[in-house]
Structure 1
């Protein structure tokens, strides 16, 4: 039970990669708070998970949630920032400002707000493990989707910044960089986009949310106690080319 006695906060925890990570930590003993814009609990909810509604782009909502967790549990040992949205495929010259602002608000500002609130709570009080879900598109470029690339690039560098800033103060920050993963978000994408990414993936297949969750759980655990600032691709070899 790698997470017995630990309190974990997972955003985007209703489904997809965040949902798989929340369930995995709960199965290994953690008390998990799953925060998502979707209200309620999914049909396959796991014992040990409390589901809370959260708009990750709202500073006030973050503070209310973190204060409530602190009041009930006294600490947050693990923060997983997995909430994210994407956009329709577009080129730079056709970027829609409203779409840009929405993607950046959730993917970039949401991660910053989460790290800010939880680091402020835990600084000087005990160790904290942060795992941010970035993307291969936060490391290398694809065609179109400028705001998604920009937001995930920011997540990658914010992770490195937090790792260096807090390494000597008991806070570890790492990121997983998923490639093409079989989630609701990807299923809604243009099939041609999926086929193109698979064709450029050496393993020649799509990944699963559970495969990403296993990487998240490793980085969250004490098994990774000497790892901070790591960017771990879970991408079937896509970024190895």
Structure 2
């Protein structure tokens, strides 16, 4: 269910907007009146911007690398140059790169997983806070994961545990500034094949087996015994971003069919 004017005249920054859940958030928010800043390091984000514009939204595109503070700062600067304020930040960058038992990870792979799934949220929150504090208003929704309790992706699990801790502590620290900070812990989600894969190297037979183990564990841990849809994740994200959640902060909402993560 959509609410046509829920974000009317609000400026929403969506990171990782080129595909998947980020694209879903961007298009749904456009249909609900938001003015958008769509951030991604893939130029595919421009296609999503065109789709959002067709729905009536004004759109600023930020092609930035959010694994760096410079990228996050540039994104926020573009948003403030374009609109003068940021009402909502949805931090959506992240995702498992490799799937295997922890002892099989190499040092550089562990660091890459943390850079991918924790640092973009850390940097983006840091970059946006001064402007929200100055206005004494703002909502941040971080996309986490129920994979904080799961198999074959321990570095990713640790990164998303960091996102949950960041969410709780930022909410505690900045409620007095009028800023709400929440997270959606997404469960397994059916999505089209990624146009830009997180890991372009084809999986070996052993890696295919490990990945199948993740899929089986995800389904079995869900009380509903299924993956969710992008729309089911988007609905929760936009609820927490909206004024309908005005008395909710510091919450990590699991959207995993009953799997609490």
Aligned to 1:46: 52
How far is the alpha carbon of 1:19 from its aligned partner? 1.1
How far is the alpha carbon of 1:102 from its aligned partner? 1.5
Q: Is the deviation greater in 107-116 or in 43-52?
A: 43-52
Aligned to 1:100: 110
Aligned to 1:216: 237
Aligned to 1:30: 34
How far is the alpha carbon of 1:192 from its aligned partner? 4.2
User: What are the Cα deviations for residues 27-54 of structure 1, in whole angstroms up to 9, with x where unaligned?
Assistant: 1000011111211423672222443212
Aligned residue pairs: how many?
Answer: 238
Aligned to 2:121: 111
Aligned to 1:168: 176
- In structure 2, how many angstroms separate the alpha carbons of the residues matched to 1:68 and 1:239? 36
SS of residue matched to 2:52: coil
How far is the alpha carbon of 1:187 from its aligned partner? 11
Alignment root-mean-square deviation, CA: 2.0
> Which residues of 2 match residues 1-241 of structure 1 at below 5 A?
1-40=5-44, 41-42=46-47, 45-47=51-53, 48=57, 49-138=59-148, 141-183=149-191, 184=193, 190-239=211-260
User: What are the Cα deviations for residues 83-108 of structure 1, in whole angstroms up to 9, with x where unaligned?
Assistant: 11313222232221211111211211
Does the Cα contact within 8 Å between 2:17 and 2:26 map onto a contact in 1?
Answer: yes
- In structure 1, how many angstroms separate the alpha carbons of the residues matched to 2:52 and 2:78? 21
Q: Is the deviation greater in 203-212 or in 118-127?
A: 118-127
SS of residue matched to 1:123: helix
User: What are the Cα deviations for residues 142-183 of structure 1, in whole angstroms up to 9, with x where unaligned?
Assistant: 122111011000000000010000011111000000111113
- In structure 1, how many angstroms separate the alpha carbons of the residues matched to 2:150 and 2:177? 37
Structure 1 runs (4+) deviating above 3 angstroms are: 184-189
- In structure 1, how many angstroms separate the alpha carbons of the residues matched to 2:136 and 2:34? 17
User: What are the Cα deviations for residues 158-214 of structure 1, in whole angstroms up to 9, with x where unaligned?
Assistant: 000100000111110000001111134699973442133213311121101111011
- In structure 2, how many angstroms separate the alpha carbons of the residues matched to 1:120 and 1:235? 33
TM-score w.r.t. length of structure 2: 0.85
TM-score w.r.t. length of structure 1: 0.92
Gapped regions of structure 2 (runs ≥ 5): 200-207
